[in-house]
Structures are given as structure tokens and as C-alpha cells.
Amino acid sequence: MRIWKQLLLSVAILFAGGCLWITLSPDAARAMVRMGIPAGVVAYINPSALPLSDAPVTTARNSSPSPARQGQGQGQGQGGGNRSPLVVTEKVTTGTVNDRLSAIGSGEAIQSVVVMPQSSGTITEILVSSGQKVRRGDVLARLDSEEQRIERDKAQVALRSAKEKSASYRNLQSVTRLEALDAQIAEEAAKLALSTAELNLKRRDIAAPIDGIAGIVAVNIGDNVTTQTSVVTVDDRSDLLVDFWAPERFATSIHAGMPVEATAIGRPGQTFTGDVQAVDNRVDPASRTIRVRARLKNDSDMLRAGMSFNVSMRFAGDTFPAVDPLAVQWDGEGAFVWHVREAKSFKQRVRIIQRNADSVLVDAAVKPGDFVVTEGLQRVREGAPVRLSEGRKTEEVASQ
């Protein structure tokens, strides 16, 4: 494009922009007149932009207000300064802390036994399956017992021989007293040998030591086991024990027999009740918590050992004044609230106990029913009168 066409296009764009500026902004017309553009041209573009005349338009940037307006402003300022600040107040209520304990605990069966053989050998028979209810003394599995049976039979034969010999010696007059005593001792030894053989044979049966539910059987027929081999676990889960850790501030409040409620993470929406069974005798110095054991009822057998529980307990707690969070202010000395008494505001120091979403519990010389300022705090001064907003009568505060 030729240079003169570019210049012509630029001038047209600038002219269009100026016209748009004058049309949209009333102050633009005066600014263009001050820059030297004829007032008639500006008025032609936007007649309503300003009352143009043939005389040049001037503006005094630092002109002083008229005496009448100045006097009016001073009167307003004086009148506003004499009025008490307008504030919004809220009543002091009460709140409770340390009234509820919530902790995570882990459950375990009231009795749990890992069943192991009492002797080594080969598994020849398994008489239990996973999930089966067993009674104390029920045989769960058997080891090979041929050798033990032979030893028992031999002990029985030896005992019969010893009994006959002892009986014949007692009837013979020619046998000395010492020989009769030896025969009697041999009979007693044979009885003991038979008892030992029968005990060794009985130990080839792996029996349940408690009533409960059998877990997964960890051995198979033909496995060689020792006294360290885990055969099966038996859990008595008629009740469930839940161990949890409570903060040390509850150490003197929790005692055996207190009611507890627990919610199993694996059973949402269901609450299980129980009581505290035991409390540890010391606080853990690392975590500053104390171990507590609760016992939950499991009559419906819905709980399992190893489950995770959310345990909760209720206490009387400690009661403190509660104020609106907006009422708490800070300065170089700490936290405070503006306490309104007899239509005047007074600074009251507070010690924050607990912050909640809708209130702050404080330790201060205020009581439930007192009023504290929540809005309009910037103009409140110590001992100065205040006005209440939204129809709240000052007499409401003055009557305290």
C-alpha cells in the first residue's frame, strides 16, 4: 500500500476513535476543547456533550468550594461527630468442651488361640473346616499314633504282670516282707508307665482348647508337623475387645464400666454398644495418650477380630461462655471483646478455650446473656456510648 494511503487510513481511524470517544464520554468533549479542537466541531459530533459557547472553556482544578457548601459540609461533620457509633451486638451463650471423646480402635476376639500340636508327627486326619463352631476338647486333627498305641499295649501287659506278682507275694508266707514291698512298688511303676503311654497317645489328637470359631486350616493330610506348627486359629468372638488411645486429659475421667458406642468401618450405619473393661495404669510419654480397652457385645456375630472401629464416649465436660467469632479482637496484649453495659462499650480480656465454626469458647468475666459487639468495631472506644442497629433498643443493653 502506498504511503499516502496508509496516512489517510490512519487519520480516518483516529477521527473515528475521537468521535466515538466524544459520543460515549461526556468529559471527552471538554478535554478535546482544552487541547485546541474547535468547540463547534465537538458540538457537531455530540451536541449534548457540553454547553459549548464561543468563549473558551476553562476549568479550575483546585477551586475552593462555595461558602455555602463549605458551611454545609462542616455542619454535617460536626453533627456526625457528636453521634454515638452504630454497632451490632450478640448475646453471650454457653458451650461445653471435653464432653465427647472420639477415637479409632482395633478389635480383637475376647479369646483367641493358635492351635499347635503337642508332639511331632504326620497329619493323618483333619476333622474341622474353616468357620466351624467348635467346643473345648473337640478333636480338630490327628497325628499318626501306631507307635504310641504299641507302647500303651506294652504298658498294659506290664501292669497285669506286676499286679499278679504283687498279689501272689502277699498270699505266700515264705516271701519276705521286703520282696512283697518290691512287688508292690513294681505294680505302682507299671501303673505310671501305662498313664504315660496313654498320655502320649492322647497327645496325638489335636484338640480345641476353647469354645469358638475355627479359622482357615493351615495344614493338610500328610504334612509333617512339629510343636511349633500352626494348625488352625480358634476365636471366641461372642464379645469383642476394642483397644483405643484416649488423650491424657481424659485419663482421670475414664473408668471401668463406663458405656461406649462404636461404629465399625466395615458396617457403616450400625452402632454397637458396650462398656469400658480396663484402663491402663500409665500415660504414654511419647503420644500423651492412655490405652483403654472396651468390650462390645457381638450377639449377632457381625463383628470380626481385626476390624477398625470409631469409638465414642460422652462426659459431663467443662462449660465456658461462647461468643460470636466476629466479636473476638486482638491487640498487643492479646484477645479481647467489646462488652456492652449500660449502653457503653468496655474492653474485656478473654482467653480462648476452643474455636468452633459458629462460636468461640472463652474464659472471661462475661456471663450468658451479656452483649458483645460483633459489627461496627472500628469506632468503638473504651467507656464510650454506643447505639444498637436494626431496632435493637439501647435500653436492652442498659437493663443488664
Residue 174 lies in a domain: yes
Asked whether residue 79 is domain-assigned, the answer is no
The per-residue pLDDT for 96 is: 81
Across the chain, mean pLDDT equals 82
Q: Which stretch of 39-53, 128-142, 280-294, 374-388 has the lowest confidence by average pLDDT?
A: 39-53
Output the DSSP codes for 133-169: EE-TT-EEEEE--HHHHHHHHHHHHHHHHHHHHHHHH
Same domain, residue pair 156 and 243: no
Q: Is residue 101 domain-resident?
A: no
Instruction: Kindly state whether residues 213 and 266 are assigned to the same domain.
Output: no
Q: How far apart are CA 251 and CA 53, in angstroms?
A: 91
Burial 219-229 (b: 16+ CB within 10 A, else e): beeeeebeeeb
Kindly report which listed range (229-233, 262-266, 282-286, 393-397) carries the lowest average pLDDT score.
393-397
Q: What is the CATH number of the domain that holds 365?
A: 2.40.420.20
pLDDT for residue 1: 59
Residue 68, in any domain of the structure? no
Domain-embedded: residue 67: no
pLDDT digits (tens, 9 = 90+) for 264-303: 888 888 889 999 999 999 999 999 999 999 999 888 888 8
342, part of any domain: yes
Question: Which of 175-179, 247-251, 333-337, 348-352 bottoms out in mean pLDDT, i.e. has the lowest?
Answer: 175-179
The dihedral sign for the CA sequence 377, 379, 385, 388:
negative
Task: Tell whether 293 and 344 lie within a shared domain.
Answer: no
Alpha helices, DSSP H, located in the chain:
3-24, 26-34, 39-45, 67-82, 146-171, 177-202, 394-398
Buried b (16+ CB within 10 A) or exposed e, 92-112: beebeeeeebebebebbbbbb
Supply angle C-alpha 10, 11, 14, rounded to 5. 85
Whether residues 247 and 269 share a domain: the answer is yes
φ, ψ (nearest 5 deg) of residue 32: -70, -35
Q: What's the grid cell of residue 107?
A: 478389635
Last residue of a domain, one of 283, 317, 351: 317
User: Which domain-ending residue is among 173, 191, 225?
Assistant: 225
pLDDT digits (tens, 9 = 90+) for 74-109: 333 334 445 788 889 899 998 887 778 889 999 999
69 lies in some domain: no
Residue 61 located in a structural domain: no
Q: Which of 271, 302, 317 is where one domain is finished?
A: 317
Residue 18: domain span: 3-45
Please give the model's pTM, rounded to 2 decimal places: 0.54
Q: Does residue 142 sit in the same domain as residue 218?
A: yes
